[in-house]
């Protein structure tokens, strides 16, 4: 039985990955961000399991990180600040969490020895596509402070592979969506407002395209990469190899939810012109060639499952649909 540590396990992708690893026979140490209420985020939705240990803390503390990495075989490093608009206001926090947090994980893995590290990147590091589909050789473009810190974190991790032979893989999911996603993302923003009975919803620019991945496909991608030694030392996209505009996504959700809601452009939700990433379409040939992974969900089937989840009253209560979340 492999013993895995997941940082950021209390978040959207982290909680789904926790469930999948437990189903796959792993022993999991799940790190939730420390708070005085002993609240474990989305891990609260996971039933008690003898193979699940939940700890709280902060990846910005190198001594704590090394402490929780004792005895693990592999680290899935997902802990990060991810909201792009908030990165315009709190850039220093992004540097501390995303770059320093990744350094702390890699340094601890190096000192403890024998620990495999999967560092979670983002398709935002590519910026607006210079060509499509975007493969792993596409140039990096820091179009937001968030993406700049993720580029830095990826570089730190790869330096540990090159300099110290640390078994590192950069896992680069494109736009993941599904149950439990935060209200700062476009799909839960649309669904939660419609489910809340609103007749007009506020959104930003609907012209950019995205390569959406259902969260269960993203989680399977992490596991497939972790269980393949040929992925060590590589940067690997998890992508659907499909693009859809924000506007078409809105109309698809409206159709699924049988809604006649009207869209209103909210200036607050628009990124600065040079910061907006206008096109993302990921190439998934590398992961498909190294592992048996391929997307199982279409955008339609994934959105239907997501809508069903949001319609449950106990889930709607976790969202304040009328408040814009940076």
Separation CA 135–CA 324 (nearest Å): 33
Specify whether 183 is located in the same domain as 107.
no
Residue 306's φ and ψ, nearest 5 degrees, are -65, -45
CATH number of the domain bearing residue 269: 3.90.25.10
Claim to verify: residue 55 and residue 171 sit in the same structural domain: yes
Dihedral of alpha carbons 75, 169, 66, 155, sign: negative
Residue 293 counted as domain residue: no
Rounded Cα distance between 138 and 149, Å, is: 18
> To the nearest whole number, what is the mean pLDDT of the chain?
94
User: For residue 199, which of 275, 279, 254 has the smallest C-alpha distance?
Assistant: 254
- Taking the whole predicted model, whether its pTM rises above 0.75 is answered as yes
Same structural domain, 8 and 59 = yes
Q: Which DSSP letter does residue 227 get?
A: T
Over the stretch 46-65, which tens digit does the pLDDT of each residue have?
999 999 999 999 999 999 99
The candidate with the shortest Cα–Cα distance to 280, out of 242, 252, 248, is: 242
Confidence class for position 196, pLDDT limits 50, 70, 90? confident
Domain span at residue 29 reads 3-176+213-238
226 and 302 in one domain?
Answer: no
User: pLDDT per residue over 246-305, tens digit each?
Assistant: 999 999 999 999 999 988 877 777 778 788 999 999 999 999 999 999 999 999 999 999
Q: What integer pLDDT is reported at residue 273 of this predicted model?
A: 76
């Amino acid at each position: 039985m492999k013993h895995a540590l997941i940082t950021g396990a209390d978040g959207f992708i982290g909680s789904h990955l926790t469930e999948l690893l437990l189903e796959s026979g792993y022993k999991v140490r799940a790190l939730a961000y420390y708070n005085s209420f002993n609240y474990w985020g989305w891990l609260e939705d996971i039933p008690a399991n003898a193979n699940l240990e939940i700890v709280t803390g902060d990846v910005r503390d190198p001594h704590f990180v090394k402490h929780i990495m004792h005895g693990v075989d592999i680290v899935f490093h997902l802990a990060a600040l991810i909201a792009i608009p908030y990165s315009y206001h709190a850039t220093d926090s992004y540097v501390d969490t995303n770059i320093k947090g990744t350094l702390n994980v890699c340094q601890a893995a190096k000192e403890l020895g024998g620990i495999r590290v999967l560092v979670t990147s983002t398709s935002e590091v590519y910026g607006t596509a210079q060509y499509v589909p975007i493969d792993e050789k596409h140039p990096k473009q820091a179009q937001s402070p968030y993406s700049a810190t993720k580029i830095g974190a990826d570089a730190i991790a790869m330096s540990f592979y090159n300099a110290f032979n640390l078994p590192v893989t950069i896992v680069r999911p494109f736009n993941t969506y599904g149950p439990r996603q935060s209200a700062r993302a476009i799909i839960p923003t649309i669904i939660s407002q419609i489910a809340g009975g609103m007749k007009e919803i506020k959104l930003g620019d609907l012209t950019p395209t995205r390569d959406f991945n259902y969260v269960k496909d993203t989680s399977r991608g992490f596991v497939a990469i972790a269980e393949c030694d040929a992925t060590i030392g590589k940067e690997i996209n998890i992508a659907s190899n499909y693009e859809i505009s924000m506007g078409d996504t809105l109309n698809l959700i409206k159709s699924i939810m049988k809604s006649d809601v009207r869209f209103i452009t909210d200036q607050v939700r628009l990124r600065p012109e040079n910061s907006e990433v206008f096109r993302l379409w990921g190439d998934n040939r590398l992961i498909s060639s190294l592992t048996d992974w391929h997307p199982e969900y279409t955008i339609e089937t994934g959105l239907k499952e997501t809508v069903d989840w949001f319609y449950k009253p106990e889930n709607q209560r976790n969202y304040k649909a009328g408040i814009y979340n940076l």
